[in-house]
Structure 1
């Protein structure tokens, strides 16, 4: 199969980028011709003042991206175009270029940008659904994107315009949600259920199970407010008996270091960002992984990394993470943002080693069933086969409600 893959990189690399690259590698490893067309937000730094001013309109429609994708389709003649992320430089204009060329489109829903300017559905470090339930004007009122009403209005205009045009339904053949949880959020936001399939992220290679002798807990992720690191360290002030290794970097790195020092948390090790191999080693040596996000994650890559190594997970009770971890089966849930409950559940995790081992075994069993490259390849081929063999869905254009 001939695939054109489109992806817009942000200035700070994240899980979306790694997942998009994995899909490219997966397809190529099975002999498919993949033309990967990335654009990167770093190029904005070199824009003229006029070009930066024109960026206000770019999220809604990029003439350059429209022309580029039309040219790519003419040159590569893809069977399907797979859009990983179009914000902000590619824009929904690429969907129209594909429709004009008669090429079916698959789009992965890696964040909630189709529903709200804040792709995390988060405000003041809490889940916020006002754009879904009360209208996009709420995002402008609260300056939800970079603290700017003007920038927020740019994205709200993109969302509202393409809702009005029916773009999300008439220009995309299949959406790929990463979990049932995120699928349900998008359905509440107006996407048709018949257009959405669930296909989780995956690991390209099996890292192998963890060690028999383990100790402590591990956190892996970006050190940022939405990942729950403030709650994490608040909880660990009361957990001197459980060592914690924190792997990652981000805007709260300095705050984390100060908090560990001020509160004399000698049981907490700030390891910084680590290569994948070292990260897996840390997970394999830990009794459990902590995933304390306070936002609606669309997935939780570190959770399946833990599952693959037979490591149970202590996860906040909201978003995709909670849907990935079965409470008292592959780990435990705690109340999101509640440091006292996190500390209580962490003690419960380590209180019964035999039970913890049983949870780890259950987690490992889920990995080959759901998160291997073989499973991911089969599910992706089914999606591509559906849109290339059956044509466009007969669902009417436009958003519900």
Structure 2
């Protein structure tokens, strides 16, 4: 008999496989997280490792409480070509429904929302906060973090960190809100530091990170929504006020040298148009947002619900009313002109539209696509697909992606 402290051949082999696969833990988790590895066979192929190594990696991620491995054979276990040895159905992989969560927070001109978001971009719980956003960012961020902390306490889940989406360019490396034009916050507010302090004061573990709301919406849509598989994804959206844009290149957000890239709201689309908060005139920000739509339709916005909801309701409930139809065409033409300029500069392989812009696309997709094709250099040679965003609360999901990223990079290190 061998020494009791000497590992058996089988356990030594398992450990060796696991050690070889530890560098693949992060890539493997991202594949499951983004839905690109529904089975162990697909995971094996995507990672370029042996079945044994892929099995060890999946088992380790399951032991960390991040994924579930279902070894039961069945027709739903995969598609043709995903089976295991001797044609057996491959083990199914999915994110753990009862696993850790990230705290996600979003602030906009009409209030805030907090949520818990698990792997896979799945929103577990939300806590809307319809409040007047004060001029003190610390007060607002403290309130949204407290709402998130209550959700965490109720859920009993482990938290991997927190992410915040704000309607402003966020300058790097300081994490300051450079131009919160639709909030009363001072320019240059240190939102990342304030948010981190609030998260720490609430006793929430993990990093606290901050980003622009449309950037984060684009990231979420690229990983979990309408932007999947796009190499060069352009996202343009209007939320409660203003217009934002984002670009994902080869799976990564393009934020420029200091986090300020793709401020598409300040493209001029009507030189004789409305005065913009930035000091210009006729920018997309004021020519193609919910307030612009309501104004063009001759409607006075009310205080009861958000401007975005009022614009959506009008577009959905009275699409044939002449003033509403004229406003719809006007905003589509302005939006299409801006998109055409962006296509000429960026050459994306897909455009996705969010907020009210998604509703405008639904209202008259042919008109919007025709405007873009007519005004863009490459529009007549095949065109660029223009699609609606598909995720509810995509900025919240994107904020959670910030907090999940350290886990995706190094699952063992982040959860140790």
Provide the TM-score with structure 2 as the length reference: 0.34
**Largest Rg, 1 or 2:** 2
Provide the TM-score with structure 1 as the length reference: 0.35
